[in-house]
Amino acid sequence: MWDLGVEGGTLVTRMGLIRANLYVQGEKLGAISVERQRSHRSLDARERLVLPGVIDTHLHSRDPGLTYKEDFDHATRAAAFGGVTTVLEMPNCLPPVTDLGSFEARRAHLLPQAHVDFGLWALALGDANLAELPRLAAAGACGFKLFWGYALDRRTLALVYNPAPDDDVVPPPDDAGLLRLMDAVQATGRPLAIHAEHRGLNAALIAGVDPDAPDTYAEFLRTRPALTEAVAVETACRLAQATGVALHIVHLTAADSVDVIRAARARGVDVTAETCPQYITLSDEDFPRVGPLMKVYPPVRTVADQSALRRGLADGTIAYVASDHAPHATHEKQGSLWTAPAGTPVVETMLPLFLRLVSQGVFTLEDVARLLSYAPARRFGLYPRKGALEPGSDADLVIVNPDHPWTIRAAAAHSKHPLSPWEGETVPMAVETTVVRGQVVVADGELQTPGAGTFLRFGAPLS
């Protein structure tokens, strides 16, 4: 007798759709079967889609640290309601994750709040913590994140976007420093993720802004053009080619960068890239309606960039989609375009927005299984434990009603602050049930099993 049956649904896999029942034993998927089998508990999935749980490799919960913006309880609750069953948490909390002590303290701090499974990124500072990287890898970090282009406050190691001349900061590594960092990360076997905006170009363009310039999105884009991303991505790809490191470019935004990634992959460089819902559903034309809620770094660009990103996902140049969920407090996002901080809440609406692109014919349901589950799992060594509906995998799945239009209302969502760049937009399909390792975490609009998440120690045998 199985513990749980998910019966009567259409299973969505990266290879196609299958009408079948799915049976769970303990934490694992046990069987996929056309015949009905006996189970202690059954979920009715008739006229529903059953998808593999979404894996979000790019989440900022702010916890510990600036938890007035968001915390891990809220972020993983929002994830669960959005069909996300695994998150990889970014390391720029306070104190940031730069050594074994901060890594272990954070793991212990987040575990009791985790409503979905989670892994932890570690922060790469350049030469300042090269010696710590092997210890962080041994402790199970999923990879190393370099906020390339950003300085760090020397005392707190907080990110500093635009340091003043007399600020006491650790500057970001130069190209030679990045080469040393890549060699060190390559030796750990983990990926190096890079925020790619060229510091020198950005700084010069921002310094050239007339303080009396109009507060327009076009002026904002002029200070962070596609050029600064494409140059940084090109340099990173060339250095990765020389070192053999597994390079991952986070939040790709520009058509020019897609071309750079495509050429690097054709040369055999071990580089992957992600893009995010904000870059494939919004453009500069939305700013008058949405306002600073859509301010993110790198910025949302033009419709032409949006189209190139969609094509890059469809043809495999861009490996997958991640959220870059990075909330701020309501009063902070109500500032002007220049003063509002960059970042916005995304994780809960990521799958619904992607399903809307499916209903618009931009992507297929098979693409959802590939781009939101399988490909991120592959990149981080989580597959076959996670990332697919296959016997022996963790029973992480989402039940979606494909015929249930609803309107995004941030006030009804689960992040700490009721904000969304997609407020008032209608999506055609609804996430109804989220199952994490066989536990029904969300059903009937309620969090059924709080604290169901577990820590994923990367590098250990994961299957």
Interaction site with Zn ion (CB under 5 A): 324
Angstrom CA distances, 84 to 51, 154, 374, 459, stand at 11, 35, 13, 22
Give me the numbers of helices (H) and strands (E) for the chain, helices first please. 15, 25
Stated as kind and residue range, the H or E segment containing 307 is helix 303-315
With tokens 């994490």, the residue in question is: 436
Q: Minimum distance from CB of 348 to Zn ion (Å)?
A: 16
Considering the complex, state which of residue 145 and residue 417 has its C-beta at the smaller distance from Zn ion: 145
Q: Minimum distance from CB of 297 to Zn ion (Å)?
A: 8
Considering the complex, state which of residue 324 and residue 396 has its C-beta at the smaller distance from Zn ion: 324
Q: Is 252 exposed, middle or buried (0-12, 13-18, 19+ CB in 10 A)?
A: buried
Q: Minimum distance from CB of 73 to Zn ion (Å)?
A: 20
Return the structure tokens found at 30: 């046990």
Whether the Cβ atoms of residue 144 and residue 183 lie closer than 8 Å to each other: no
Considering the complex, state which of residue 13 and residue 257 has its C-beta at the smaller distance from Zn ion: 257
Secondary structure (3-state) at 58: strand
Whether the Cβ atoms of residue 408 and residue 422 lie closer than 8 Å to each other: yes
Considering the complex, state which of residue 50 and residue 55 has its C-beta at the smaller distance from Zn ion: 55
Q: Which amino acid would we find at residue 166?
A: D
Considering the complex, state which of residue 29 and residue 59 has its C-beta at the smaller distance from Zn ion: 59
Q: Is 315 exposed, middle or buried (0-12, 13-18, 19+ CB in 10 A)?
A: exposed
Angstrom CA distances, 284 to 156, 222, 334, 356, stand at 35, 12, 18, 20
Q: Minimum distance from CB of 57 to Zn ion (Å)?
A: 10
Q: Which of 374, 344, 345, 372 has its CA nearest to residue 358?
A: 372
| Strands 397-401, 430-436: pairing kind | antiparallel
Q: Minimum distance from CB of 294 to Zn ion (Å)?
A: 15
Q: Minimum distance from CB of 179 to Zn ion (Å)?
A: 24
Q: Which of 359, 363, 439, 429 has its CA nearest to residue 47?
A: 429
Considering the complex, state which of residue 121 and residue 217 has its C-beta at the smaller distance from Zn ion: 121
Q: How far apart are CA 53 and CA 37, in angstroms?
A: 23
Secondary structure (3-state) at 323: coil
How many CB atoms lie under 10 A from the CB of residue 339?
11
Considering the complex, state which of residue 305 and residue 324 has its C-beta at the smaller distance from Zn ion: 324
Q: Minimum distance from CB of 324 to Zn ion (Å)?
A: 4
Q: Minimum distance from CB of 106 to Zn ion (Å)?
A: 17
Residue 208 contacts by C-beta under 8 Å, 6 or more apart in sequence? none
Q: Minimum distance from CB of 325 to Zn ion (Å)?
A: 8
Considering the complex, state which of residue 121 and residue 374 has its C-beta at the smaller distance from Zn ion: 121
Considering the complex, state which of residue 324 and residue 394 has its C-beta at the smaller distance from Zn ion: 324
Q: Which of 347, 340, 348 has its CA nearest to residue 297?
A: 340
In this chain, which residue has its C-beta nearest to Zn ion? Answer: 324
Q: Which of 393, 404, 432, 352 has its CA nearest to residue 52?
A: 393
Q: Minimum distance from CB of 235 to Zn ion (Å)?
A: 20
Considering the complex, state which of residue 253 and residue 439 has its C-beta at the smaller distance from Zn ion: 253
Q: Minimum distance from CB of 326 to Zn ion (Å)?
A: 5
Considering the complex, state which of residue 343 and residue 352 has its C-beta at the smaller distance from Zn ion: 343
Q: What is the 3-state secondary structure (H, E, C) of 86-155?
A: EEEECCCCCCCCCCHHHHHHHHHHHHHHCCCEEEECEECCCHHHHHHHHHHHHCCCCCEEECCCCEEECC
